[in-house]
């Protein structure tokens, strides 16, 4: 696809835009003047993300409901995004799920498939959908919101989630090995615990007093914006971010 020379707008696609880090990323990019395509399974959640944005930025936000785990749905979404905006500068893969029954002893094949579909298949499909346009422009940034579980396995994350996040680490490395000469760069962000609704899926959710000490969605979104805003010649391949203070339960 030929670049649209008449458009100077910076365009980002954010998956998982209906909540958590995805929603915070949408709001921060829009506040900086970016045009943002919001992608997620639930149309109502995307609508809420737009409604929660400051009034002056909402005109830059467009929802594209899509099941990121379905390749055909991703392709249709990408076609719709490119038809409307003509190009995409940044893809943020922020969609992700986990399941309560996550240890190896109880992990079902259906749950495993669901986690892999949302967490890594969706990221790969989105990358493949937008790469041709980025190659044609000779520029593009892909930010994969991973987890510290993509560096080291953790029982609290569970096997399926860990496998999917290690896959996202490998996907990012593959982007840089294969595409950096085309002007396309990939960054994998590895957050520690984030205070988002996914924590409620843990077999034992963290207590309320622990959550203020965790990373907040806005903290990780700021990392995404930092990476996306760097000069094109600069590549941050990996970014690890953790809470400054650890939660220590008070003995009872």
184-191 sheet: strands from edge to edge: 61-65, 35-40, 11-15, 90-93, 140-145, 184-191, 238-241
C-alpha distances (whole Å) from 236 to each of 178, 193, 227 are 16, 21, 7
Continuous segment of H or E residues that includes residue 61: strand 61-65
Q: Which of 45, 130, 116 is nearest to 82 (CA)?
A: 130
161 catalytic? Reply is yes
From first CA to last CA, the distance across the chain in angstroms is: 63
Q: Select which of 85, 130, 161, 166 is catalytic.
A: 161
The whole-angstrom distance between residue 64's C-alpha and the CA centroid of its chain comes to 15
Sign of CA dihedral 49, 237, 139, 122: negative
For the chain, how big is the Rg over CA atoms in Å?
18
> What SS3 class is residue 72?
helix
DSSP state for residue 144 in the 8-state scheme: E
Gap between the Cα atoms of 180 and 175, Å rounded: 7
Gap between the Cα atoms of 12 and 7, Å rounded: 14
For the annotated catalytic residues, the residue numbers are: 161
């Amino acid at each position: 696809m030929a670049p649209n020379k008449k458009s100077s707008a910076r365009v980002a696609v954010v998956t998982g835009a209906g909540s958590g880090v995805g929603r915070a990323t949408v709001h921060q990019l829009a506040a900086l003047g970016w045009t943002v395509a919001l992608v997620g399974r639930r149309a109502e959640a995307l609508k809420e993300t737009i409604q929660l944005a400051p009034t002056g930025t909402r005109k830059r936000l467009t929802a594209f409901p899509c099941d990121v785990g379905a390749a055909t749905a991703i392709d249709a979404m990408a076609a719709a995004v490119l038809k409307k905006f003509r190009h995409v500068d940044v893809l943020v893969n922020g969609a992700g799920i986990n399941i309560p029954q996550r240890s190896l002893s109880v992990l079902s094949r259906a749950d495993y498939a669901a986690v892999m579909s949302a967490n890594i298949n969706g990221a790969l499909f989105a990358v493949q959908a937008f790469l041709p346009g980025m190659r044609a422009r000779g520029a593009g940034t892909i930010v994969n919101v991973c987890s510290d579980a993509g560096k080291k396995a953790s029982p609290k994350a569970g096997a399926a989630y860990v496998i999917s996040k290690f896959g996202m680490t490998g996907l990012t490395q593959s982007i840089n090995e294969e595409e950096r000469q085309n002007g396309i760069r990939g960054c994998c962000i590895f957050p520690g615990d984030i205070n988002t609704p996914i924590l409620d899926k843990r077999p034992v959710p963290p207590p309320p007093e622990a959550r203020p000490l965790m990373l907040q969605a806005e903290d990780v979104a700021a990392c995404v914006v930092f990476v996306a805003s760097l000069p094109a010649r600069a590549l941050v391949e990996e970014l690890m971010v953790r809470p400054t203070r650890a939660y220590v339960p008070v003995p009872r």
